[in-house]
Amino acid sequence: MRAHDTSELSYYSFCTAYAIKSSAMIGANEKGYGQFCPVAMAADIFCARWTPLILREMLCGSTRFNDIRRGLPRISPTLLSRRLKELEKAGLVEERKSPKKRGTTDYRLTTAGEDLREVVISLGLWGHRWIESSVSLKNLDPSLLMWDMRRHLVASRVPNERCTVKFIFPELSGRKTWWVVIDKNQVDICLIDPGYEVDLHVRSSLRSMTSVWMGITSLKLEIDAGNIELSGEKAIERSMHEWLGLSPFAKEQRHVS
């Protein structure tokens, strides 16, 4: 193992520390690898369906049940609740009473859960580097795209202290319109018209905006090709490439097209 490889160190420490907990968690009637190898024991926990994505959401700062679910719009509340309980039992997550809202619960990563940060990041970097964009772009999801854009948008780069940006995906059969409200460096997503004057209209196919967000193409290329249309306040329009932000994986060099 290379001394500077933090992802390997994090993975190894997780595997070693949680080998016994994994074996206790997987009952005799449940499907597990049935091996003492720390890789297998860790995989029993980490590789359960939705678990890596739940950890991704929590590592991105989501602590409330509904916020975690907003980043995983296709998971059912029942399954999310079950997975969180499993992660709590495995020692990766703990429940805490919310200090902000009485009677509500926050979910926080333990030291062991936080120790998986490099593993989750490395997994995302590998996927962006090696999985073909045509495969990635089959899994389009406007809810996930807008939620991801909301938490990575660079509000300080928006010319106006307060503005509203309206995104329209005309080809969608369901929800076509989303509003992003930026107010004093706070960013929120609205599913219904918040009633504010719109400073910038963004009309785009979901595929084009997702491609920009993932760094597969650029905002300028999509605008020049007519795939994204902007109209509104010129200063906000010109600076969109600065304040939009990109996926944390977008800068990773891709080895496939």
Look at residues 88, 46, 53 and name the one whose alpha carbon lies nearest to residue 68: 53
* The two three-digit tokens of residue 238, written as one number: 């010109």
- Helix, strand, coil proportions of the chain in percent (round to 5)? 45, 15, 40
Note the pTM of the prediction, 2 decimals. Answer: 0.73
Q: What are the residues whose beta carbons fall under 8 Å from the beta carbon of 148, sequence distance 6 or more? A: 71, 213, 247
pLDDT at residue 28, as a whole number: 35
Q: Which pair of tokens denotes residue 215? A: 């760094």
* Beta carbons within 10 angstroms of residue 61's beta carbon: 8
Best CA proximity match to 151, nearest among 250, 50, 247, 237: 247
CA distance 34 to 136: 33
Tokens of 199: 């400073």
What's the confidence (pLDDT) of residue 20?
A: 40
In three-state secondary structure terms, 101 is coil
Residue ranges and CATH numbers for the domains of the chain are: 6-130 (1.10.10.10), 140-243 (3.30.1050.10)
Distance CA 199, CA 96 (A): 40
The sign of the CA dihedral 10, 12, 14, 17 is negative
* Bridge partners (DSSP) listed for residue 164: 181
Mean pLDDT split into 10-residue runs, the chain, 257 residues: 46 45 44 82 92 95 92 93 96 87 86 96 90 74 91 91 95 93 91 95 96 92 96 96 88 67
Three-state SS at 166: strand
Instruction: Give the per-residue pLDDT at 185.
Output: 82
The DSSP symbol for 197 reads: P
- Return the beta strands (E) in the chain as ranges: 93-97, 105-109, 162-168, 177-183, 186-190, 200-204, 228-232
Under a CB-based contact definition with an 8 Å cutoff, are residues 178 and 142 in contact? yes
* Helical packing angle, 6-17 and 117-130, nearest 10°: 130
pLDDT at site 129:
86
Q: How far apart are CA 108 and CA 130, in angstroms?
A: 31
Decide: 120 and 54 in contact? Cβ < 8 Å. no
**Nearest CA among 208, 211, 205, 209 for reference residue 136:** 211
Upper half-sphere CA count for residue 168 (Cβ side, 13 Å): 13
pLDDT for position 7: 47
